[in-house]
Amino acid sequence: MADAPPSRDAFDTRAVHAGRAVDPATGAVAAAIQPSTTFERAADGSYPRGHYYARVSNPNRLALETALASLEGGQAAAAFASGSAAALAVFQALAPGDHVVCSADAYHGIQRELRELMARWGLATTFVDTTDLAAVRAAFRPATRLLWLETPSNPLLRITDIAAASALAREHGATTVVDNTFATPVLQRPFEFGADLVVHSTTKYLGGHSDVTGGAVVTREDSALFTRIRDAQAIGGAVPSAFDCWLLLRGAATLPVRVRAQCASAGRIAAFLTEHPRVHTVHFPGLDTHPGHALAARQMRGPGAMLALQVRGGEAAALAAVAGTRLFTRATSLGSVESLIEHRATMEGPETRTPRDLIRLSIGLEDADDLIADLERALG
Ligand SMILES: *Cc1c(COP(=O)(O)O)cnc(C)c1O
């Protein structure tokens, strides 16, 4: 499985073939779903087929982990039951007394893990605007072990310079993690810029159909830290089911074509919104007015398919626009085939820093003209 022929090297080819092989026993082209929780030992007590208990490993999870490591260009991956469980495993691999520097607009659930769960374990965190490298530098302490970046960020789509920030982390002996959920490896491969770990909520683009919850940690190279993340996975047990892994591997095959089509539509929708009189700001890295545009062009292979707009008239106008859509589905989450629209501040709760007049869009695979017509109606 892992040893695909060398010609199968380009990204789109790996998306289809990494982690997959024709079943030698049956000739089946699609992988079987293996529900067994336990695996037979040989007479001498060994496990010649590699698996012994499904919490620790199973064939579908191994296939998914092989594919994710290949797509990110990393050495290994560990799949989890959610993106949040993947992030928690990274934090649990640190020790009480350690210090984390984290993007101030990282996913709100990850901020809650640091503020509410890990603070009680003795992990300290400084939240900074990681687009400001001087602020990142100033946040490091002798006990800093981890720099957590999310780029593009949520929901303002701000762009952090992964190469410059990870160089600062290296100077301070800290590991750099990039939450690559929004960009996906189709558009951004953080290991090319010096990151050490990549985290995904595979619930989003990797799965791509709003029907599976999952997460992963991918490592550039084997390390003591990644061994502790594997321990959090195997001992802690927040693992995905065989069926979830099967769905995610199936999603990976179409990831490149989905993301490219979604990016193209997002670009057209961003251009339409920029011209709209009811919209005062559009946050989309593909626009040359976006503060991270030049950096995104260097660091990413496309602007992504997430965008945010701020409307005139404050929260009431934003809620009215969200209520007026027919094709966009009013729901949180992102990265699926159907387009989603969300009033982000009311989703994130009272302590949010997200502007009250902001609407977040996840662009799906519908006809872009239909999506534009729906927004035109809703904003009108
Ligand atoms: C959704 C999301 C997460 C959390 O993932 P879950 O699968 O919902 O636990 C983490 N980071 C980002 C950027 C996300 O969008």
DSSP 205: T
Q: What is the pLDDT, as a whole number, of residue 2?
A: 43
Does the Cβ of 213 fall within 6 Å of ligand 1? yes
Task: Decide whether any atom of ligand 1 lies within 6 Å of the 210 Cβ.
Answer: no
Q: Which of 91, 121, 130 is nearest to 109 (CA)?
A: 91
pLDDT for residue 250: 98
* Ligand 1: centre distance to CA 293 (Å): 24
pLDDT at 350: 84
In degrees and rounded to multiples of 5, residue 324 shows phi and psi of: -90, -5
Cβ of 181 less than 6 Å from ligand 1? yes
Residues 6 or more apart whose Cβ sits within 8 Å of residue 151: 103, 130, 158, 159, 160, 162, 178, 182, 183, 188, 299
pLDDT for res 8: 54
Of ligand 1's atoms, which has the minimum distance to the CA of residue 150? 13
Q: Distance between CA 135 and CA 144 in Å, rounded?
A: 14
Ligand 1 pocket, 66 CB below 6 A?
no
Atom of ligand 1 nearest to the CA of 87: 10
The neighbouring-strand residues paired with 124 are 99
Mean pLDDT by 10 residues, the chain (380 residues): 53 97 95 97 95 96 98 98 98 98 94 97 98 98 98 95 98 98 98 98 98 98 98 98 98 98 98 98 97 97 97 97 97 97 90 92 98 97
